[in-house]
Amino acid sequence: MNVTIVDYNSGNISSVINSFKEVAKDKVNIEVTSDLNKIKYSDKVVLPGQGSFKSCIDALNNINGLVDVLNEFAISNKKPLLGICVGLQMFADIGFEETETKGLGWISGKVLKIDNQNGKFKLPHIGWNQINILKDSKIFKDIENKSHMYFVHSYEFIPEDKNVISATTDYSSNIVCSIEKENIFGTQFHPEKSDKSGLIIIDNFINL
Amino acid sequence: MLKNRIIPCLDVKNGRVVKGINFVDLKDAGDPVEQAKIYSDGGADEICFLDITASNENRDTIYDVVEKTSKKCFVPLTVGGGVRSVEDINKLLNCGADKVSINTAAVLNPEVVVESSKKFGSQCIVVAIDAKKNSDKWEIFTHGGRNNTGIDAIEFAKKMEDSGAGELLVTSMDRDGTQVGYDIELMFRISSIVNIPVIASGGVGNLDHLVDGIKLGNVSAVLAASIFHYGKHSVKEAKEYLDSKGIPVRI
């Protein structure tokens, strides 16, 4: 099996690579590439994302044909895809970081700045927070409710259809922190930095 | 609820762990990769490497240490010391650091903070502020605490937030290595004026100092070196103690 981590200049992805390789050991081949053919023919795709919504979307668009290949992979062929952090946020129709930017439009909704209640909550939301699991997501197998995950973000994804939400976390309000819609998965937190629980999530995704 | 973080810091020189008393008088005490692994297995919320003599020496050894550590530790890894340019930051991130802390370069050339936070995202840019009290204000020191710039630390903290820093790592030079506790007033003043998380550093001698940092200094995270490093307390003990004092921690 091939799992491809999309390398599209979205910032630092070395931790994502290290964690997937740690979990995959020799059982699964982890590719790190922006090669369209390799992405197309892989079994699973991981879409990381650091920096701003706009910078990540711009970086995707900078690679000719990449968005089309991702659309084909996730929407037409319905193969498993995991978005991490801004990788998840880009599923939305639109994001408002830096400037209004069109997203991939896979899951209706928008990406807005977390309401910090006039400075009562510091932003970025950095650190370990507990997740409230709202529905049985395949990537949460063996993950207990209220497990701690590592977060670092200032924006949150607000999907229109609340049924896609698989977990939230409490920071100023109930922030959406995990999504499952058919073959599309996303975590706002960083499983690659969430210690043993995070590695279980990665393992669950690899074993889907 | 967001938990307060406990961050053990390993001072690294030539690829080996050392801990300075007021930044001098170094003792060699171990392999950083193994130490980091012990900490992360013990529940450390993040690991911090500070390449202490990096401003003056060949620092390629740190890249190797970061690369090896990031393959074994799956909690955030912050690396600082001698980071001068956007290229240095890029190199550390590529080796597997999750955040890079910038000290001297942020003071001498704040543009590095602006540029790097734009390029890599604020989430990985930590500005390290080394401050020392001088009558009624705190002044910024650079070059591992050797040079006094006279810059007001509180104003500088605000400026760094505006420049794009994702977090501030505030060290009291008066307290560092003394084990008498954080400079609570300094921590409180800075955490009150900025809206980004503040990490307290410098002076921890016992577990109550960690409690005070969070409760009185109002910081998001507490960094300590020697109380963990010489086996005085484990990270687990520290967390259990904080928990018993009603501070939210990841256990």
CB contacts, 8 Å: A151 with chain B? 2
3-state helix, strand, coil split of chain B in percent (to 5) is 35, 25, 35
Distance CA B222, CA B224 (A): 7
Q: Over the stretch B135-172, which tens digit does the pLDDT of each residue have? A: 999 999 988 778 899 999 999 999 999 999 999 999 99
Going by their DSSP bridges, the two strands A155-159 and A109-113 should be labelled as antiparallel
Is residue A97 classed as helix, strand or coil in its secondary structure?
coil
CB contacts, 8 Å: B221 with chain A? 127
Q: Over the stretch B62-89, which tens digit does the pLDDT of each residue have? A: 999 999 999 999 999 999 998 999 999 9
CB pairs under 8 A between A and B: 99
Average pLDDT over residues A76-89: 98
The tokens of A74 are what?
């996730």
Average pLDDT over residues B177-181: 92
For residue B232, give Cα distances in angstroms to A44, A94, B32, B191, B224: 46, 51, 18, 28, 12
Counting beta carbons within 10 angstroms of the beta carbon of residue B207, is it exposed (0 to 12), middle (13 to 18) or buried (19 or more)? buried
CB contacts, 8 Å: B96 with chain A? 14-15, 18
Q: What is the pTM of this model?
A: 0.94
In the residue annotation, B11 being an active-site residue is answered as yes
Residue A128 to residue B45, Cβ atoms within 8 A: yes
List residues of B whose CB lies inside 8 A of any A CB.
Answer: 1-5, 40, 45, 70-71, 74-77, 93-98, 119-124, 166-167, 195-197, 220-221, 250
Active site residues of A: 85, 190, 192
Which among B120, B17, B125 has a CA at the least distance from the CA of B69?
A: B17
Q: Which CATH superfamily is domain A2-206 in?
A: Class I glutamine amidotransferase (GATase) domain (3.40.50.880)
Q: Which amino acid type is present at position B123?
A: Q
ipTM over 0.90: yes
Is residue A131 scored above 50 in pLDDT?
A: yes
CB A17 within 8 A of CB A32: yes
Which among A146, A132, A139 has a CA at the least distance from the CA of A176?
A: A132
Residue B221 to residue A127, Cβ atoms within 8 A: yes
A124: nearest CB among B3, B4, B122: B122
Counting beta carbons within 10 angstroms of the beta carbon of residue A62, is it exposed (0 to 12), middle (13 to 18) or buried (19 or more)? exposed
For residue B183, is it left (φ>0), alpha (ψ between -120 and 50) or beta?
A: beta
The mean predicted confidence, pLDDT, of chain B is 90
Residue A128 to residue B123, Cβ atoms within 8 A: no
CB A140 within 8 A of CB A177: no
Average pLDDT over residues B219-225: 96
Distance CA B213, CA B203 (A): 10
Question: Which residue of B73, B74, B98, B162 is the best one to mutate when testing the A interface, meaning the one whose CB has the most A CBs within 10 A?
Answer: B74
Which among A148, A124, A20 has a CA at the least distance from the CA of B44?
A: A148
* Predicted local distance difference test score (pLDDT) of residue B232: 80
* Distance to chain B for A146, nearest Cα, Å: 10
Kindly identify which residue of chain A lies nearest to residue B191, measuring between CA atoms: A122
Average pLDDT over residues A94-109: 96
Q: Which of B130, B176, B183, B212 is catalytic?
A: B130
In the residue annotation, B130 being an active-site residue is answered as yes
Check the CA dihedral A39-A45-A51-A56 and report its sign. positive
Q: Is the peptide bond before A159 cis (omega within 30 degrees of 0)?
A: no
The mean predicted confidence, pLDDT, of chain A is 96
Domain positions in chain A are 2-206
CB contacts, 8 Å: B119 with chain A? 51
Beta strands in A37-164 (DSSP E): 44-47, 81-84, 94-95, 101-102, 109-113, 125-133, 148-153, 155-159
Residue B3 to residue A124, Cβ atoms within 8 A: no
| Domains observed in chain B | 5-244 (3.20.20.70)
Question: Which residue of A195, A199, A200, A201 is the best one to mutate when testing the B interface, meaning the one whose CB has the most B CBs within 10 A?
Answer: A195
**In the structure, what pLDDT confidence band is assigned to residue B56 with cuts at 50, 70 and 90?**
low
Kindly identify which residue of chain B lies nearest to residue A194, measuring between CA atoms: B75
